[in-house]
Structure 1
Amino acid sequence: MSAPDTRTLLAAAHAEVKAEIARTDTKTALLLAFVGAVLAGSWTVAKDMPPSVPAYVAGGLGMALLIAAAGLLLRSVRPNLRGRHGFPLWATLTAEEITATLSQDLSADIAGLSRIAVAKFTGLRRAVDLTCAGGALLILAALLAAGGAA
């Protein structure tokens, strides 16, 4: 394989990793909005429900899991200003250092960005799991409240 082919492949891999980070951030933002809406809606419904200890316990656990999911999502999109990639790196370099850095092999940058992408994806996956569990508990709480009211 010739040098231009390797450079082209590295540039494509670099772009792919950056695109995956962007896709993960978009999914995270959508899920965070969904979790916020579910929390707000659940609170609105729960305050008007008749008191039922089992429903309150299940609903409280569901809300706690949704709050934990929101925390994971916020952590996933939190900017990493101490990182070696992207804006923080470029902001610390002179024009000549940026040119030298860009002319070097992209392999280290791809590896670092890939670790960031995996960390973001893992946080998103855990938040989805917590959201599903929290939603199931909220449904259980609604069923318990409906069954207790009848």
Structure 2
Amino acid sequence: MTLSTESSAGDKNLDAACAAVTTEIGRTDSKASLLLAFDGAVLAGLTGLADKDLPLPAQLIGGAAGLALAAAAVLLLLVVRPDLGGRAPAPGSFPYWARQDAAAIRTSMDDDTRSARIKTLSTIAVAKYERLARAVDTILASLALLLVAAVLAVAG
């Protein structure tokens, strides 16, 4: 009885871990989407200032801020870019199944691949969060540069 209870608890834990990692991946994509919209709006605002007669220091700092925002956009796009597992997708994942024939897929259904999926999905989630963190840091740096450019523009 203890064995089945432990097995049942292990199964529940594996199922919960699979669901948790999948949820975290979805969270990074949602956050990245919101930040991409913000980034685009700020870049659009900067574009609207391009024809204004601003002091050269303000233009240079504003240009640096625009480049930082563009770099943040690239990082955010890398967050939402699909990761299909490269050469060795996780067993039990749809990229893995896409490379198998029907018989191999049917045979693989007898294997418990949750541990492998948790490992692969966790690696994907960590990479997404790292890019997301770098993008946020880059956006914050660009906002600081924009503040300096605004002060220089007002000061003349």
Give the TM-score taking structure 2 as reference length.
Answer: 0.86
Q: Which protein, 1 or 2, shows the higher relative CO under an 8 Å CA cutoff with sep ≥ 6?
A: 1
Aligned counterpart in structure 1 of residue 8 of structure 2, from 4, 9, 26 = 4
Equivalent position of 1:54 in the other structure: 57
Distance 1:81 1:105 in 2: 17
Consecutive unaligned residues of structure 2, counting only runs of 5 or more, are none
Distance 1:32 1:104 in 2: 37
Q: Is the 8 A contact 2:69 2:138 kept in 1?
A: yes
Equivalent position of 1:126 in the other structure: 134
Distance 1:15 1:93 in 2: 24
How do 1:1-150 residues align onto structure 2 when only pairs under 5 Å count?
A: 2-48=6-52, 50-83=53-86, 84-85=89-90, 86-102=93-109, 103-148=111-156
Consecutive unaligned residues of structure 1, counting only runs of 5 or more, are none
Give % identity: 47
Give the TM-score taking structure 1 as reference length.
Answer: 0.89
**Helix, strand or coil: the match of 2:31?**
helix
Distance 2:6 2:108 in 1: 21
Higher mean C-alpha displacement, 30-39 vs 136-145: 136-145
The alignment's C-alpha RMSD in Å is 1.7
What is the letter of the counterpart of residue 65 of structure 2?
Answer: G
- Structure-2 change in CA distance of 1:5 and 1:95 (3 Å): farther
